[in-house]
Amino acid sequence: MKNPDSLLAARLALAMLEKLPVRNDGGHVVLVTSAVAGEGKSFVSRMLAHESAQSTLGDIGMVSTGFIDATMGTRLVDTSVHATQTPHLFYIPVSQEQRPDELYNAAAVAAGIVALRTRFRLSLIDGPVIANCGALLARVDAVLLVVDSVRTSPQKVRRALREAAIAPTDITGVVLNRAPQPLPSWIGGD
């Protein structure tokens, strides 16, 4: 039997999959981001990718935002996709050629997302902080916000959402990293 932490990870992955819209034109793309750096989004991205690969049929891609650019479609058929020890889970490392403004280039982001949808049933993008996600926010199927609720205040989260020009209702889900006990009221506690 799995330990409680892995059961929690599996439940989180299943909850994410249930929230994805129906697609008839390729796989889903989920952006994992945070309000500020150091919230644990890379850990959450890897955990969700691993659990999703174990619970779904089809290939799962774990992608760094450094890979999203105009040449992505060509590179996905090259040697840029690396198999992992987990069946059906592939890792796409950071591109050395990416410029910082590439995520604000709507055409490049669209091309990258189409390439991911074509290649993978599900792609998890380990994104930058939400204020730096640019055109990704409008192209992905879901946005998961990772919040370290011990050190990140609701004000920091609201400010980051304002800077990114995204409404709280456009966030598909929030993953609490290091949830305090008891939970504060701003995240559903008493």
Does the pLDDT of residue 4 top 50, yes or no? no
Tens of pLDDT, residue by residue over 19-60, are 888 888 889 999 999 999 999 888 888 888 888 888 767 899
Tokens of 84: 């992992």
- Cα(157)–Cα(34) distance, rounded to whole angstroms? 8
Find the angle CA(82)-CA(84)-CA(88) to the nearest 5 degrees: 95
Tens of pLDDT, residue by residue over 102-158, are 777 788 888 888 888 988 999 999 988 999 888 889 999 999 999 988 888 889 999
Does the pLDDT of residue 97 top 90, yes or no? no
Length of the chain equals 190
pLDDT confidence bin for 1, thresholds 50/70/90: very low
Torsion angle defined by CA atoms of residues 143, 126, 188 and 157, in that order, rounded to the nearest 10 degrees: -90
Domain chopping of the chain, boundaries: 32-187
What does the DSSP 8-state code read for residue 187? G
Q: What are phi and psi of 118, to 5 degrees?
A: -70, -40
Q: Which CATH number fits domain 32-187: 3.40.50.300, 3.40.140.10, 2.60.40.1180, 3.30.1310.10?
A: 3.40.50.300
Contacts for 145 with CB less than 8 Å, ≥ 6 apart = 33, 34, 35, 130, 157, 171, 173, 174, 175
Q: Are 63 and 82 in contact, with CB atoms under 8 Å apart?
A: no
Q: Are 39 and 177 in contact, with CB atoms under 8 Å apart?
A: yes
Q: What is the 3-state secondary structure (H, E, C) of 124-170?
A: EEEEEEHHHCCCHHHHCCEEEEEEECCCCCHHHHHHHHHHHCCCHHH
Question: Which pTM does this prediction carry?
Answer: 0.83
